[in-house]
Structure 1
């Protein structure tokens, strides 16, 4: 079982409403169950697969205002493992897994690197990577932004797009391994 727990650490006013709206929006992601709202700042949900967990964590990391816990168990208790793993600082991912070895710390380290790449991104970089992430190729994304293909390529390079993609693939592999999914 896989679950994600997120604790809002931003400075927005009306945080209870923001957390509720976020829970609703995040529950529309594929493979994400209904979120349980725990207190004012915390939400948690089960996810169906390692890929679904990855997509949810990436959405939370991209926002930059959430401390995230990932729970991976082979039988029961994933939500509680996720809660126990939730970090104290925004844009951090804690991991609790009943897998062998250092898989939990490897997953957390991978997300720390991805989070670093995401937080260093400019507005233009976020705009460019969002379009490519949605499935547009560089030519289509450049056209949508009204820039040249070369400028689009430069934006993606400066945004660390290739490093993000390598980190995402590594995170998916590690989560899958920890969950016992081939």
Structure 2
């Protein structure tokens, strides 16, 4: 069972509206449940799969103004009983795996720290190129969509750290699968 918690750490004037709109947009991602609004800056949702969880966390990290908490627990009630992220700074992820054991939580947080670093260094062109690739287009299709050559697309993806992002995403998914198996084997 995966629970995602996020706290808006940005400086938007209309925080409550921004948080509500963000929750609505994130809930449209495949495998993501309805987000619960918890006060002005906090949201929480149950997420079905590790892949959907990684996609949602990356969307929040790309924005750069959210502190993210991930809870892996045997049941929904246990996943929702973990307090919201309090001290985590924007652009970082704090993981909790219940029952406690092993280094799963630290490893998951570390994988997302590496991904966040890659995402933070990205230019507008790099975000544009990787977004198209993440949506399922191949390099030729993405290049055509942007009106650039395949070589220019390849250069944008390389500069944007596309290979590091996909490797980090796969690592995070694998760690979440292992943590979920640990949580379920403990009951």
1:97 aligns to what?
Answer: 97
Task: For residue 111 of structure 1, report the CA deviation from its aligned partner.
Answer: 0.1
SS in 2 for 1:127: helix
Residue 154 in structure 1 maps to residue 160 in structure 2: no
1:14-163 correspondence to structure 2 within 5 Å: 14-75=14-75, 76-81=77-82, 83-85=83-85, 87-98=87-98, 100-163=101-164
CA distance in 1 between counterparts of 2:158 and 2:47 reads: 32
Task: For residue 88 of structure 1, report the CA deviation from its aligned partner.
Answer: 2.4
Q: Please give the TM-score of this superposition, normalised by the length of structure 2.
A: 0.91
1:70, 1:86 within 8 Å by CA — same for their partners in 2?
A: no
Question: What do residues 51-103 of structure 1 show as CA deviations (whole Å, max 9, x unaligned)?
Answer: 2211111111111110000001123311233x445652111000010253101
Distance 1:87 1:30, change over 3 A: farther
1:68, 1:86 within 8 Å by CA — same for their partners in 2?
A: no
* Structure 1 unaligned regions, length at least 5: none
Greater CA deviation, 110-119 or 50-59? 50-59
1:113, 1:167 within 8 Å by CA — same for their partners in 2?
A: yes
Distance 1:124 1:114, change over 3 A: same
CA distance in 1 between counterparts of 2:52 and 2:86 reads: 18
1:7, 1:42 within 8 Å by CA — same for their partners in 2?
A: yes
1:13 aligns to what?
Answer: 13
CA distance in 2 between counterparts of 1:77 and 1:117 reads: 32
Q: Please give the TM-score of this superposition, normalised by the length of structure 1.
A: 0.94
RMSD value, Cα? 1.6
CA distance in 1 between counterparts of 2:60 and 2:79 reads: 18
Task: For residue 172 of structure 1, report the CA deviation from its aligned partner.
Answer: 0.1
